[in-house]
């Protein structure tokens, strides 16, 4: 795989909007989640962060899921410094999600239950389709290249990266916005409560590598603007994705960022990446547990490489050590205990 | 039309404006009281589109029990606040008299 | 690098095998009924797969079961059933319903009581098509469940081609699957594009689409893989194009610019001229907007004499499965040398410059194009080539 150079990153989460807010959150560390009406903790994006009359002027109908997607993608382009008009004709989009726009799907079901099958809202239906968010992204940003929405519960971002590489390699586009969006509706946080162990005190412990980890659900969107042009590199590059179960990680990785989000069962397998001489970082407690949180972990990894500093809990202080951080591996797991690795280089 | 008819139609116009604002996200920032009676719904007027048109069909079903079977028939009905209001008036209040 | 199709698996209302599909196409049979898979007040002809009993997973995971059945048939056809170990396998499947938690009973109870059985949630969490197929086949490699609305199946095939060309896998399984479901039935009804009568793609009096269900899967291989096992391919997928309109959430761009770019891009990759295309399997849903735009673009690119049809008069609109099924139908037509009449078409629409075929029509065994359009401005096209029996050169 040729390196996919990262020229811009956009992140929106409970910790705010923008890569600067994301970095500030990494520095600040854990803060308490909010509570829903039912008293369930979650890290939800604030309504203020989903308001932007300029970017969202053509997306007035958009639901929260679509707005978060559009804003994060827009911010990735803005962060790159590229003028949208210069790249939009040759920019595609690959939007990945674990659970899609489920709050809108439930709203559509509300319509069936409250008004009957023949009086449901067509607008709600149109937004319940997973690729509505991608449609807003392409319309608002004027991206007329290929645009795809993909879904997988645990590894959609990693597979999206592999597709981004294949299509950049084939010159289907010259730039691509690749990212993940996921939301946490009130019905879904009930489901999370049934399926996972929720940290009622709001404190995940992503460094515990527990057999029965706890989680606090989160929501957000994280996007990367990528190209094969090294001159556009701002944060480093994605240089490899490994999905084979025979693969055990890159020995040259200076830091391992582990996806201990409390949503994939036992996290004991991550112990092998920690220990003496091994530097491991985990950030799920910063933005909440999301099944497809790897994009957020990769955003943190990209910042580590660019800023040459580690954030939060880690056993090294990069500035004091003699060795620079040149390679970070982001590791995610699923409910079968399978691992997938993404390598980022400086 | 009698004075009573006029006031009933006016009430329907008011309700239609409120329903459009509450059901169509595109009109989120609009004050229903500021929408003119002869405001054109699509194109240069309120700027609604084809998705809004089918949403209005559902608004009519849910709130007035009215059907618009044919979207071509709908074009005339949906032309303006006034034509929409008259359609509702003629198929609800007036029918009952 | 040429990408070959070595296996085809097709399951739809038109047939549960390729042979059955060809028979019903030839006879012009339109196998519809009222929706029987769930109770509904909505009246619209439905194209259900009757007597489908291949349950690899619990019966209610219908989209997944249809998907695995089509994949199994495609692998058997390719001579690869139980022979995938040790190979890097990519799986790309398109769907709409199969990716959504939309169980009405679960949600009704949750609304009333604040809690509900997790049975349907557990099914949903098992049901991601690509990853479930990988787990079922015990394979490893790229995995993608494409949710690009009605273009998903075509996009999945294009993605699989790209994987092989980029060296990410040796063999790929690609297509789409979707089951008959209340949510799209109600949804398309609310949009005013669900017809109460049999759909009539491209017809002057068309009133909308009919829903269908099914699964279509292709096995794709590069030349190296094929040479190693000396298996004769059925076809080759020579080109794929995809382009977003960036126009509107539900309506296609009226000029069809995105569709035009997708088709042109596919032809460019295939290095094939429009004049070499023997026929087109159009998206042709029977809605006013789709057929108008598509007819305009096909005429612009291929001229007024191009042979084309929509097979949705035989299968209904199977949403995420449509692209997988229709690529398979192109292969059957190239092999057999004919296309069926475009079911439902009787009267030319004066606003559409071309008209589909009205009877069983001979076609050259050369190239075909399959097009798909989807909500959200999705446009996708494939160029498919009839493979001579000699296969790739050694």
Nearest-CA neighbor of A217 among A265, A153, A289, A295?
A289
The average pLDDT across B12-32 equals 88
Asked if A288 and A14 touch (Cβ cutoff 8 Å), the reply is yes
**Cα A241 to chain centroid, rounded:** 16
The average pLDDT across C293-308 equals 97
- Quick one: pLDDT at residue A319? 53
Domain containing residue C30: CATH number: 3.40.47.10
Is C391 a domain residue?
no
Integer Cα distance of A195 and A185 in angstroms = 15
Query: What is the C-alpha R_g of chain B?
Result: 13
Integer Cα distance of C322 and C69 in angstroms = 16
Mean pLDDT of chain A: 93
Chain C CA closest to residue A145: C243
Q: Which one of B28, B51, B64 makes the best mutation probe of the A interface by having the most chain A beta carbons within 10 Å?
A: B51
The average pLDDT across C147-160 equals 97
pLDDT higher than 90, residue C328: yes
Look up the domain containing B91 and give its range. 3-96
Distance from the Cα of C63 to chain B's closest Cα (Å) equals 29
- Ordered per-residue pLDDT tens for chain A, 346 residues: 899 999 999 999 999 999 999 999 999 999 999 998 788 999 999 999 999 999 999 898 899 999 999 999 999 999 999 999 999 889 999 999 999 999 999 999 999 999 999 999 999 999 998 899 999 999 999 998 899 999 999 999 999 999 999 999 999 999 999 999 999 998 998 999 999 999 999 999 999 999 999 999 999 999 999 999 999 999 999 999 999 999 999 999 999 999 999 999 999 999 999 888 888 999 999 999 999 999 999 999 999 999 998 886 554 555 555 578 999 999 999 999 999 999 999 9
- Quick one: pLDDT at residue B75? 81
Does B62 contact chain A (CB < 8 Å)?
yes
- Quick one: pLDDT at residue A322? 57
Domain containing residue A11: CATH number: 3.40.47.10
The average pLDDT across C296-319 equals 98
Look up the domain containing C278 and give its range. 3-386
- Residue A232 corresponds to which tokens in the numbers above? 């556009």
Check B58 against A126: CB less than 8 A apart.
Answer: no
Residues from chain B contacting residue C207 (CB–CB below 8 Å) = none
Give B48-60 pLDDT, tens digit per residue: 888 998 999 999 9
Could you tell me the pLDDT band of residue C252, with boundaries at 50, 70 and 90?
A: confident
Domain containing residue B21: CATH number: 1.10.1200.10
Backbone angles phi, psi at A227, to 5 degrees: -155, 175
Q: Which one of C192, C194, C292, C376 makes the best mutation probe of the B interface by having the most chain B beta carbons within 10 Å?
A: C192
Compare CB distances from A122 to B25, B28, B54 and report the shortest one's residue.
B54
- Residue C119 corresponds to which tokens in the numbers above? 């049975």
Integer Cα distance of C321 and B18 in angstroms = 41
Compare CB distances from B55 to A62, A118, A123 and report the shortest one's residue.
A123
Check C148 against A116: CB less than 8 A apart.
Answer: no
The average pLDDT across C249-270 equals 91
Is C58 a domain residue?
yes
Size of interface A-C (CB pairs under 8 A): 208
Does A112 contact chain B (CB < 8 Å)?
no
Question: How many domains, chain C?
Answer: 1
Report which DSSP code applies to B26.
Answer: G
Could you tell me the pLDDT band of residue C179, with boundaries at 50, 70 and 90?
A: very high
Strands A255-258 and A280-281, bridge-based pairing: parallel
Distance from the Cα of A63 to chain B's closest Cα (Å) equals 10
Does A126 contact chain B (CB < 8 Å)?
yes
- Quick one: pLDDT at residue A36? 86
**Cα A303 to chain centroid, rounded:** 14
Look up the domain containing A38 and give its range. 4-345
Taking only residues 48 to 87 of chain A, the set having a beta carbon closer than 8 angstroms to any beta carbon of chain C reads: 61
Question: How many domains, chain A?
Answer: 1
Check A108 against C110: CB less than 8 A apart.
Answer: no
Question: How many domains, chain B?
Answer: 1
- Quick one: pLDDT at residue C48? 98
Does B10 contact chain C (CB < 8 Å)?
no
pLDDT higher than 90, residue C49: yes
Does A112 contact chain C (CB < 8 Å)?
yes
- Residue A105 corresponds to which tokens in the numbers above? 């799907």
Give A218-260 pLDDT, tens digit per residue: 999 999 999 999 999 999 999 999 999 999 999 999 999 999 9
Percent of chain C with pLDDT strictly greater than 70 = 98
What is the interface pTM, i.e. ipTM, of the complex? 0.96
């Amino acid at each position: 795989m040729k390196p996919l150079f990262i020229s811009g990153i956009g992140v929106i989460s409970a910790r705010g909007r923008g890569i600067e807010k994301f970095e500030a959150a990494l520095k600040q560390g854990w803060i308490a989640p909010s509570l829903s009406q039912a008293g369930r903790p979650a890290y939800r994006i604030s309504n203020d962060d989903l308001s932007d009359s300029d970017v969202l002027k053509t997306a007035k109908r958009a639901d929260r899921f679509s707005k978060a997607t559009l804003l994060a993608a827009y911010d990735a382009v803005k962060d790159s410094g590229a003028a949208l008009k210069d790249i939009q004709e040759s920019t595609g989009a690959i939007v990945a999600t674990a659970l899609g726009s489920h709050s809108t799907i439930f709203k559509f079901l509300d319509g069936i239950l409250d008004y009957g099958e023949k009086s449901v809202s067509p607008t709600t239906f149109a937004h319940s389709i997973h690729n509505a968010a991608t449609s807003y992204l392409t319309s608002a940003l004027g991206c007329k290249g290929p645009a795809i929405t993909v879904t997988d519960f645990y590894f959609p971002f990693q597979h999206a990266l592999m597709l981004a590489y294949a299509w950049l390699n084939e010159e289907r586009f010259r730039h691509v916005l690749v990212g993940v969006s996921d939301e946490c509706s009130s019905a879904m946080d009930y489901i999370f409560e049934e399926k996972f162990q929720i940290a009622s005190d709001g404190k995940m412990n992503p460094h515990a590598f527990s057999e029965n980890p706890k989680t606090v659900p989160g929501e957000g969107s994280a996007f990367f603007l990528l190209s094969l042009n090294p001159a556009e590199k701002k944060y480093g590059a994605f240089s490899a994705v490994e999905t084979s179960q025979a693969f055990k990680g890159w020995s040259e990785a200076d830091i391992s960022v582990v996806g201990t989000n409390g949503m994939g069962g036992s996290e004991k397998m991550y112990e092998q990446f920690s220990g003496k001489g091994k530097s491991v970082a985990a950030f799920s407690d910063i933005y909440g547990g999301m099944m497809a949180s790897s994009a957020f972990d990769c955003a943190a990894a990209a910042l580590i490489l660019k800023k040459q500093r580690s954030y939060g809990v880690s056993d090294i202080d990069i500035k004091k050590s003699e060795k620079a951080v040149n390679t970070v591996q982001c590791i995610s797991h699923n409910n079968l205990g399978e691992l997938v690795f993404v390598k980022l280089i400086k | 039309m009698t004075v009573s008819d006029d006031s009933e139609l006016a009430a329907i116009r008011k309700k239609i404006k409120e329903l459009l604002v509450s059901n169509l996200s595109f009109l989120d920032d609009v004050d229903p009281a500021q929408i003119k009676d002869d405001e054109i719904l699509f194109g240069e007027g309120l700027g609604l589109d084809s998705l809004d048109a089918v949403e209005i069909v559902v608004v009519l079903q849910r709130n007035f029990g009215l059907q618009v079977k044919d979207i071509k028939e709908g074009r005339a009905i949906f032309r303006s606040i006034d034509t929409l209001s008259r359609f509702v008036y003629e198929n609800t209040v007036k029918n009952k008299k | 690098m040429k990408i070959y199709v070595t296996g085809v698996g097709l399951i739809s209302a038109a047939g549960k095998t390729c042979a059955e599909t060809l028979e019903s196409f030839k006879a012009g049979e339109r196998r519809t009924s009222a929706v029987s898979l769930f109770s509904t007040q909505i009246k619209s002809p439905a194209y259900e797969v009757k007597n489908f009993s291949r349950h690899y997973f619990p019966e209610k995971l219908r989209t997944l079961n249809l998907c695995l059945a089509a994949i199994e048939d495609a692998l058997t056809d390719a001579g690869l059933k139980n022979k995938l170990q040790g190979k890097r396998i990519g799986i790309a499947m398109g769907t709409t319903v199969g990716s959504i938690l939309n169980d009405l009973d679960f949600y009704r109870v949750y609304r009333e009581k604040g809690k509900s059985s997790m049975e349907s949630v557990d099914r949903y969490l098992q049901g991601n098509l690509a990853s479930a197929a990988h787990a079922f086949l015990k394979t490893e490699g790229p995995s993608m469940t494409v949710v690009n609305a009605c273009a998903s199946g075509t996009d999945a095939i294009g993605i699989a081609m790209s994987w092989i060309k980029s060296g990410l896998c040796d063999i790929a399984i690609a297509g789409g699957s979707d089951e008959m479901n209340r949510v799209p039935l109600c949804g398309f009804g609310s949009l005013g594009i669900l017809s109460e009568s049999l759909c009539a793609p491209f017809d002057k009096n068309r009133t909308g689409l009919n829903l269908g269900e099914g699964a279509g899967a292709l096995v794709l291989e590069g030349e190296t893989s094929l040479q190693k096992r000396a298996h004769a391919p059925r076809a080759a997928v020579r080109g794929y194009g995809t382009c977003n309109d960036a126009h509107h959430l539900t309506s296609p761009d009226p000029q069809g610019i995105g569709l035009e770019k997708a088709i042109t891009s596919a032809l460019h990759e295939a290095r094939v001229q429009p004049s070499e295309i023997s026929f087109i399997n159009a998206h042709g849903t029977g809605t006013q907007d789709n057929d108008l735009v598509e007819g305009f673009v096909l005429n612009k690119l291929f001229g007024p004499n191009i042979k084309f049809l929509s097979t949705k008069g035989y299968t209904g609109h199977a949403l995420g499965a449509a692209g997988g099924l229709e690529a398979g139908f192109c292969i059957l037509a190239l092999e057999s040398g004919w296309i069926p009449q475009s079911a439902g078409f009787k009267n030319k629409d004066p606003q559409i410059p071309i008209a589909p075929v009205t009877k069983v029509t001979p076609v050259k065994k050369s190239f075909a194009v399959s097009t798909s359009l989807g909500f959200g401005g999705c446009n996708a096209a494939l160029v498919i080539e009839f493979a001579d029996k000699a296969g790739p050169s050694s």
